[in-house]
Every structure is written in structure tokens, then in C-alpha cells.
Amino acid sequence: MYEDDDILVVDKPADTPIHPSIGNYENTLANGIAWYFEQKGEPFVYRCINRLDRDTTGLIVLAKHALSAAVLSQAMRSREIHRTYQAFALGETAASGTIDAPIARLNGSLIQRTVDFASGERSVTHYRTLAHCSVFSHLELNLETGRTHQIRVHMAYIGHPLLGDTLYNKTPGTFPRQALHSASLSFVHPITGEPLNFHAPLPEDMQNLLT
């Protein structure tokens, strides 16, 4: 989507983890980026600033050197990198709303998260409904915090889990993945100070839900 001497912004496809893990050493964004810079004959250290789940599509920013990584990482911690998502959730959602419910790791699970008012970290998601489509709703969501699986956990918590989310939706339906897309990313350039705004259209599988 964008590249200069300091940063790289990419539109990640589905079924692509951001880095290698046990059982998945090759089909990752890190491998693809490493190949890209190898083809250009340029040295590169993988520095991923924001993170998306394997099957969540959309915008990710990468730092191309240590200084831009440090500045962007601080901006992320200070909530100065603004992320807007689009999703499809089961049922008819309210016109808009805010979910303020703490999230913690589910006891006994390495992956799954849950709302936990006793030991969870504060987690806030804002949403508005773009359209009601048959038995599901098309949503735009903004994160005030950035917990693992935050949108997926929060939407399931209010009774509107994401389509295709086999981890948090007991009836995920036939959609092949969680219907979640990182649609826009706004932040200040770490070196020049220029405001940057990026937008990625819905991937084809999510666009087909609107027809």
C-alpha cells in the first residue's frame, strides 16, 4: 500500500499469520516480507508494529529501521495509531454502541480470551452499524485499546459474534474465517511528522456478503 525509507504499509490477506510459529514456518507475512526485500537486495529486520490474527485481513504497518520502530511502538502504546475495522456479526446490532469490558486469557487456554471483570485488562471497543443484511449486521469498529482478540471477544460478549469465528461463535455458519478486516490506519509519520491515512477495501469474500 505504501513504502518509503522508514515504513512499509501492507494489506494482509487471510490465512496469513504475521510471524512463524510451531507448525507454520513458511506461510507468514514475515516470510513474504523477507522474500520481498531479498528480491530487492536490501537488508531488512522484521519489525511489525500492529498485529492482526491469522485470518483477519487488512492494514499493517512495519518499521524499516530501529528509530521508526521505536517511535511507532511508543505511538501504539500512547494510542496515537488509530485503527478502524469492518466486520460482519450475527444478528441485528444497535445503531451504535461502546463495549467497555475487561479481557483476560481464558483459564486453561493458550489462545482463547474472555471478558473477566475480576482480573481482565480494561478493553474498550466502539462500533456503529453500517447496514443490516438478512441475519447479520455490517459494522464499523474503532479500538480504544488493543487487546488480543478484542473485537471478537467483545462482539461475542454482547451476543453478536462475528460470522465464521469458530473460536467465539457457537454457530459460525459457512463463512470460511472470522469476518473481520482492518480497513483504515491513521498515524503520524515517525520521522517526517506528516499525518498519514491509509484505507484498504473489503476483501472479495467480505464484499460478497453485501450482495
Assess contact for 161 and 152: CB atoms under 8 A: yes
Q: How far is CA 202 from CA 115, 128, 171, 186, 196, in A?
A: 28, 17, 23, 17, 20
Residue 27, number of CB atoms within 10 A of its CB: 12
> From CA 21, how far away is CA 8, in angstroms rounded?
23
- In this structure, the dihedral spanned by the alpha carbons of residues 14, 46, 104 and 159, taken in order and rounded to 10 degrees, is -20
- Active-site choice (4, 6, 15, 53): 53
Let me know how long the chain is: 211
Active site residue 53: yes
> From CA 116, how far away is CA 16, in angstroms rounded?
29
Q: Write out the catalytic residue numbers.
A: 53
